[in-house]
Amino acid sequence: MPKRNDSAFPWDLLTRGYAEVGLYEDALALYFQMVEEGVEPDAYTFPQALKACGGVGMIQAGEEVHRHVIRSGCGNNKFVQNALLDMYAKCGDIRKAQKVFDKIVDKDLVSWNSMIIGYMRHNLMVEALDLLRGMTQEGCEPDSITISTFLTSALPYKIVIQIYGLAFRREIEWNIETIVTSLSQM
């Protein structure tokens, strides 16, 4: 009998394919089958598995994947950290999301946006606005996703105008579709 391929690559492709089209349960089943068969997940596997956990709100599965991340040594990979942050925020544990965010050494736009979106999803508007301030102070410029996150929320009109002004002053490249959708939901 031929030796089975130990590479995570084909598993990663399938898991990613399922997660990208919203078949989160299938992506998770494939991930756990992969682990059960002795194939080691890698830094490409974890973000897809975590996306699937967040997609179905399965925090227990997400915590198990997080343990795999730690054991594998991928805990300092920024892509994996961003996926962990997003998963915890989507699954309702904003404190764990904040802990992951705090551990990210070199935060990128995805890190900041994921945490801001998490705060807004949990109606923590003051924290989200503080994070926006911190983001700009750290030299990370908000994008149309950042701005539309605030524009679609139930913020007071005065704050929405200030956010619009921030975007205008910084000449943020607007994704017209995103902004139109945001404004139409107000």
**Are residues 153 and 100 part of one domain?**
no
**Are residues 90 and 29 part of one domain?**
yes
Asked if residue 159 is part of any domain, the answer here is yes
For residue 96, give the CATH number of its domain: 1.25.40
Read off the pLDDT band of 170 (50, 70, 90): low
Q: Model confidence over 65-96: pLDDT tens digits?
A: 999 999 999 999 999 999 999 999 999 999 99
Asked if residue 115 is part of any domain, the answer here is no
The dihedral region occupied by 22, where left means phi > 0, alpha psi between -120 and 50, and beta the remainder, is: left
Asked if residue 118 is part of any domain, the answer here is no
Asked if residue 174 is part of any domain, the answer here is yes
**Are residues 145 and 97 part of one domain?**
no
Percent of the chain residues topping a pLDDT of 70: 86
Number of domains in the chain: 2
Scan for tokens 């701005």, then name that residue.
147
Read off the pLDDT band of 162 (50, 70, 90): confident
How many CA atoms within 13 Å lie on the side-chain side of 11? 26
Instruction: Name the residue range of residue 133's domain.
Output: 127-186
Read off the pLDDT band of 5 (50, 70, 90): low
**Are residues 168 and 137 part of one domain?**
yes
Q: Sign (positive/negative) of CA torsion 149, 155, 157, 160?
A: negative
Q: Model confidence over 102-127: pLDDT tens digits?
A: 999 999 999 999 999 999 999 999 99
**Are residues 77 and 3 part of one domain?**
yes
Cα 87–chain centre separation: 6
Asked if residue 122 is part of any domain, the answer here is no
Asked if residue 13 is part of any domain, the answer here is yes
Asked if residue 41 is part of any domain, the answer here is yes
Comparing C-alpha atoms, which of 185, 153, 148 is closest to residue 164? 148
- Model pTM score: 0.86
